[in-house]
């Protein structure tokens, strides 16, 4: 499988125009070392608009009662650089980036800014290849757990369960603590299961949560851990 094929499989899309995908993965630093070859900034601009619309529409549908200010704050959490970079790492986007020698040597393949920009550019490439619906489905798939929040009506507010797992990861890293471990069990009938998740840090349970999906339960557990006084 080609690198492009491997990435499209991880993204869960059937096809992306190879030239567009190559451009989406090309940083300006690589372009400047290769005769000014096309880079990803135009696609990034396009993908940013598609991503904004897809996220806004999803949040609007999840919580019809939320006012404009609440939706705007939730969206800002979801489309911020750190969140997009985390989603990019989920699909191992960094290993596909084309970077100039200096940028590559300085760890550019794992920089939040480059990963977030490239992810937006990939969304732009998918949009041009397959249209808005496919691109929006990709956005929702990439950000699913963060958008769904508590799994029962979406995020509760700007500090609620939206992106709680990422926020917990960042807080632990800032305090030089080990990363979180999630342990999930299931109960109830097959047609209406409930998932129960504990989040552990260094073997200690810091939060527990439940939900109708594993992702929702993990988000709830991470949110409880964030509120735990032991993390400050």
Same domain, 101 and 52: yes
- Tell me the torsion sign for CA atoms 23, 26, 27, 32: negative
> In this structure, is residue 57 part of a structural domain?
yes
Instruction: Output the pLDDT for position 213.
Output: 81
Q: Mean pLDDT in the chain?
A: 85
> In this structure, is residue 153 part of a structural domain?
no
User: Is 18 assigned a catalytic role?
Assistant: no
DSSP secondary structure of 71-126? HHHHHHHHHSHHHHHHHHHHTTGGGG-B--HHHHHTTGGG-HHHHHHHHHHHHHHH
What CATH number is attached to the domain comprising 92?
1.10.1520.10
Q: What is the pLDDT of residues 12-65, one digit of tens each?
A: 898 999 999 999 999 999 999 999 999 999 999 999 999 999 999 888 877 777
The boundaries of the domain holding residue 197 are 164-231
Q: What is the pLDDT of residues 111-129, one digit of tens each?
A: 999 999 999 999 999 999 9
Same domain, 125 and 173: no
User: Which residue in 120, 150, 163, 198 is the catalytic one?
Assistant: 120
Q: What span, in angstroms and rounded, lies between the C-alpha atoms of 85 and 168? A: 15
Q: What is the pLDDT of residues 152-200, one digit of tens each?
A: 333 433 334 346 788 788 888 888 889 999 999 998 778 778 889 999 9
> In this structure, is residue 111 part of a structural domain?
yes
> In this structure, is residue 220 part of a structural domain?
yes
Domain boundary (148, 178, 195) is at 148
Domain boundary (80, 113, 148) is at 148
User: Which residue in 44, 48, 117, 163 is the catalytic one?
Assistant: 48
Domain count, the chain: 2
Same domain, 112 and 199: no
- Tell me the torsion sign for CA atoms 88, 92, 95, 96: negative
pTM above 0.75, yes or no: no
Domain boundary (107, 124, 148) is at 148
**How many CB atoms lie under 10 A from the CB of residue 132?**
12
User: Is 48 assigned a catalytic role?
Assistant: yes
Q: What span, in angstroms and rounded, lies between the C-alpha atoms of 225 and 114? A: 29
Among 40, 31, 21, which residue's Cα sits nearest to residue 101? 31
> In this structure, is residue 154 part of a structural domain?
no
């Amino acid at each position: 499988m080609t690198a492009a094929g491997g990435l499209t499989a991880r993204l869960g899309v059937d096809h992306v125009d190879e030239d567009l995908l190559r451009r989406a993965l090309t940083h300006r630093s690589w372009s400047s070392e290769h005769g000014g070859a096309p880079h990803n900034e135009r696609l990034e601009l396009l993908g940013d608009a598609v991503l904004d619309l897809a996220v806004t529409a999803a949040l609007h549908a999840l919580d019809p009662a939320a006012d404009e200010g609440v939706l705007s704050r939730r969206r800002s959490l979801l489309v911020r650089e750190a969140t997009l970079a985390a989603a990019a790492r989920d699909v191992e986007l960094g290993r596909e980036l084309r970077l100039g020698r200096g940028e590559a040597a300085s760890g550019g393949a794992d920089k939040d800014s480059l990963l977030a920009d490239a992810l937006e550019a990939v969304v732009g490439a998918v949009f041009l290849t397959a249209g808005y619906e496919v691109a929006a489905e990709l956005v929702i798939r990439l950000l699913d757990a963060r958008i769904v929040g508590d799994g029962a009506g979406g995020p509760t507010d700007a500090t609620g369960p939206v992106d709680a797992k990422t926020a917990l990861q960042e807080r632990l890293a800032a305090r030089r603590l080990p990363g979180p471990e999630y342990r999930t069990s299931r109960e109830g009938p097959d047609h209406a299961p409930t998932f129960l998740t504990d989040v552990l840090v260094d073997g200690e349970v810091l939060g527990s949560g439940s939900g109708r999906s594993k992702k929702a339960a993990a988000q709830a557990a991470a949110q409880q851990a964030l509120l735990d006084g032991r993390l400050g």
